[in-house]
Structure 1
């Protein structure tokens, strides 16, 4: 099946029309407002049987929906509507504390977003010695689900570790290492580069316990010297520099909400 993202443009060719709050409006207009292309392209999506509303397939162009409360999917991916929720991708620098306030005066995430127009909080944590992707949002339900192990959100890291990892080390990471009485395994591990003194790997894991990757590498005798989180679920760090952030576009929001069943 073709993916709806193939048809994406961020502009509609038709002017917006005012609507009263919660007034049902045409489905193709909601799709266009969500960035899925011109109204005509959105009509094609509907007619092609690629759109569901509240779990029901919709192919009639005259269909109207509640723009605030209807749950709309295109090719199985939920579209993000104008709910007032925001999600930011933030590149947390090394040395910054993952907290919205810090009584001891250390640099913290809350300092960066103190003047943001809406109140944000961080999704999960990155320890102070690590850097990389940290999601910020004002949606409590989304944050709770992203952090709950039952949703199986995979997080990916680039790990720089002391020494050269051999096949036995890699097998240990994949099969599981006992940490505090519970076995923890990575879901994927790939060696990206090695030198005479260190290894660089890409590691993916469901587990979210504090410093878990560092502790796993300590157990196999290869301490981590640098740790960068590059992905959370479908959201990638991309080319954000440390300290920079960006707001997720609606297509990314849709994929993120779909990943946790919202």
Structure 2
């Protein structure tokens, strides 16, 4: 009985009708449990064990929309399956039973901020070029680019037949003979940050995405995650 729910409530959760209207459907004999029509109002069902149909069609509860911010480690692929058997980012989310998928991608050897959700409309909005969502990265690059090269990236470079949009670029620290750079872009071309630094002669040694818009990783440990609330989602589009 722990996982059971009243039939009319379950029908309402499936988005078929309000609970009161669902009671009318049950009384009218339009609802069946495991192929048997029932008119019993207080009957309880266990989703996943009982098959509920309305007018002969199976109904299922609408999944609650959830959003997670993951600090992706290296070695995980941002797909739902991998023919090479490499680990998949969705397996890192241990506290949700929702059918999650990653929004966008991060390379196998790239770390950092990755949103996972079951909300297809949100994912489409986040990735659509018209919204120009800023994405901030920290890149450890070989050597230290001179000011004129940084200016080139900021203004845009001709990359693979098309100019890149203006970027925000700054030097965060010098580490030995290399530099830790911060770059913010709103485009989503494949391996764009790596190609941009390679273009100016400072290839990326390590790469980490740190923010979507004003939504930052904060103190999320590598490989860990947290669920996002609506106000945090809004920070992405600021």
Contact kept? 2:71, 2:225, Cα under 8 Å: yes
**Separation in structure 1 between the aligned mates of residue 166 and residue 113 of structure 2, nearest angstrom:** 18
**Separation in structure 1 between the aligned mates of residue 199 and residue 146 of structure 2, nearest angstrom:** 14
Aligned pairs (5 A) from 1:110-259: 110-113=90-93, 116-256=96-236, 259=237
Deviation at 1:101, TM superposition (A): 1.5
**Separation in structure 2 between the aligned mates of residue 115 and residue 84 of structure 1, nearest angstrom:** 14
User: What TM-score results when the alignment is normalised by the length of structure 2?
Assistant: 0.70
**Separation in structure 2 between the aligned mates of residue 117 and residue 250 of structure 1, nearest angstrom:** 20
**Separation in structure 2 between the aligned mates of residue 134 and residue 195 of structure 1, nearest angstrom:** 26
**Aligned twin of 2:80:** 100
What secondary structure does 2:108 align onto?
coil
Contact kept? 1:101, 1:111, Cα under 8 Å: no
Deviation at 1:249, TM superposition (A): 2.5
Deviation at 1:186, TM superposition (A): 4.3
**Separation in structure 2 between the aligned mates of residue 198 and residue 113 of structure 1, nearest angstrom:** 34
Q: 1:105 to 1:157 in 2, by over 3 A?
A: same
Contact kept? 2:133, 2:213, Cα under 8 Å: yes
What secondary structure does 1:133 align onto?
strand
Q: How many residues align?
A: 180
What secondary structure does 1:251 align onto?
helix
Deviation at 1:242, TM superposition (A): 1.5
**Separation in structure 1 between the aligned mates of residue 230 and residue 156 of structure 2, nearest angstrom:** 37
Greater gyration radius: 2
What secondary structure does 1:215 align onto?
helix
Q: Extract unaligned runs of 5+ from structure 2.
A: 1-11, 19-62
Q: Deviations over 1:174-202 (max 9, x none)?
A: 11111110011442111111245101111
Q: Extract unaligned runs of 5+ from structure 1.
A: 1-19, 24-82
What's the RMSD between the two structures over aligned residues? 2.3
Contact kept? 1:101, 1:110, Cα under 8 Å: no
**Separation in structure 1 between the aligned mates of residue 175 and residue 69 of structure 2, nearest angstrom:** 32
**Separation in structure 1 between the aligned mates of residue 152 and residue 234 of structure 2, nearest angstrom:** 36
Aligned pairs (5 A) from 1:24-35: none
